[in-house]
Amino acid sequence: MENEGICIIMRKDGRYMGKFVTGYGDDRKAQYQYVYGKTYEEAENKVLIGREIATRFLSCRYITVGKVYREWLNAVVNRVKESTLANYINKF
């Protein structure tokens, strides 16, 4: 279904609000992005463009500095002295 995860409603102020799923968090709940437009078509176009961008870059979205740091720390754990490793752990 093409419009799965898309919702467009009219707000009280007359604008249209579009909502689409950009991904899922660590708790497996959907995360949404909101866009606004003066017409239904404008909001729909913004939703479709936003969803395309979100799905294209979804694989890189949840990489954090902490995750990269932990992976790096696991890679160097056997190559550095114990005191250096303790220093790295305490710094972050």
Alpha-carbon distance of 32 to 46, in angstroms, equals 14
Domain extent at residue 16: 1-61
DSSP letter (8 states) at residue 25: -
- pLDDT tens-digit map of 30-82: 888 999 999 999 999 889 888 887 776 665 656 677 777 887 888 888 888 99
- pLDDT tens-digit map of 6-36: 789 999 999 999 999 887 888 889 888 999 9
Count: domains in the chain: 2
Same domain for 77 and 33 = no
Quote the distance between the C-alpha of residue 43 and its chain's center. 20
Same domain for 51 and 34 = yes
Same domain for 50 and 13 = yes
pTM, whole model, 2 decimals?
A: 0.56
Q: Residue 53's pLDDT is what?
A: 75
**Whether residue 92 has pLDDT greater than 90:** no
